Amino acid sequence: MLAIVGVVGLVLWTTWRAPSRPAPAGPVAAAPDTPPPVAAVLPPVKTTPPPLSRTDLILEAQARAAGALASGEASTTGRDPLVDRRFSVRIPFGCEGPRIGGGSSQAYYEVDAERRTLKLVARPVDLAHHPLVAQSPDAKAIEALETFWIPRPWTRTDTCPPRRDRPASATPTPPSPQTLGLATISEVGASRLRRRAERPYELVRKAPDDEPLPLSASYSLVLEGRLATFPTGGAVRCWSESPEHRPICIYAVALDRVAFETPDGQLLAEWRD
């Protein structure tokens, strides 16, 4: 009897000491597949290139002229990437002081001491009969090629050259001819309202009585717009009399703004299209 009680007690003690086992877990549901995050694709940002400067136009014209002379071609073919590019050029004038009548100058200023007036004038030259046009395939389509020259295209500054005292040359030579210009093209039958060769840009101002007359001043002719095309294509055309002559290059342009300014950028007058 005692043995039975001992066995029963041992079983009860063992049952009390055994740790409880957790119920087996049920099947774990698989996590749904989550697609990786997709980075937002932004459309490319269209940037407008800055306006072509005097330096840009000089370098591009030199490259076109060198290529044309090397290959014997007068102009490029296909779509010209320069077409519709904007430009902004400052042309200094009056560097030698006032003139009377201007002579052959495209831009100059006059001073009337008696009336105390200042007159600024800018007028393009018509190159419709220049060999650059006359010897081209579109010669019969161009009635006027009104051109403003970019003076001294061997320099990249848009101010008057510094004045230097030099001894007179024993054998003086004439100044170098103009070789780089911006021209508006008038095709045959087009309106004449925008032509300026015979109707120049002019500004007349009266100088205050308490100010001296500008006898040693200079000014800037500002030309802004976009590059256009010649009738047969191309934004710039170069021509040379021979391989030993410096090429003449003309850009076809559409002028949006013409202005007279002081060298420090003060606006004196402007014309907009």
Which is nearest to 98 in space by CA: 130, 83, 120, 77? 120
Q: With respect to residue 228, please indicate whether it lies within any of the assigned structural domains.
A: yes
The token pair that represents 160 in the structure block: 């008057």
* pLDDT tens, position by position, 104-153: 889 999 999 999 999 999 999 999 999 999 999 999 999 999 999 999 99
CB 117 within 8 A of CB 214: no
Inter-CA distances, 162 with 12, 13, 45, 90, 120, Å:
118, 116, 43, 17, 22
Question: For residue 26, what pLDDT band results from cuts at 50, 70 and 90?
Answer: low
d(CA 253, CA 102): 25
Structural domain range at position 249: 60-95+123-157+177-197+219-272
What is residue 13's predicted lDDT score, i.e. its pLDDT?
41
Domain total for the chain?
Answer: 1
- Is 214 inside a domain boundary? no
CA 34, distance to chain mean position in Å, is 51
Residue 24: pLDDT over 90: no
Q: Does 250 reside within a domain?
A: yes
Distance (Å, whole) CA 178 – CA 132: 13
State pLDDT tens for residues 84-94.
999 999 999 99
In a domain, 69, yes or no: yes
Q: Is there a domain that residue 91 lies in? A: yes
- 254 in a structural domain: yes
Least trusted range by pLDDT, from 14-18, 70-74, 215-219 = 14-18
With respect to residue 147, please indicate whether it lies within any of the assigned structural domains. yes
pLDDT level of residue 170 (50, 70, 90 thresholds): confident
The answer to whether residue 234 is domain-embedded is yes
Contact 237, 74 (CB under 8 A): yes
Token readout for 121 is 């004038």
Reported as a single tens digit per residue, the pLDDT across 229-250 is 999 899 999 999 888 888 999 9
Which DSSP state fits 16? H
Question: Over the chain, what is the mean pLDDT?
Answer: 84
Higher pLDDT, 218 or 19: 218
- Check if the beta carbon of residue 240 is closer than 8 Å to that of residue 69: yes
Specify whether the CB–CB gap between 238 and 248 falls below 8 A.
yes
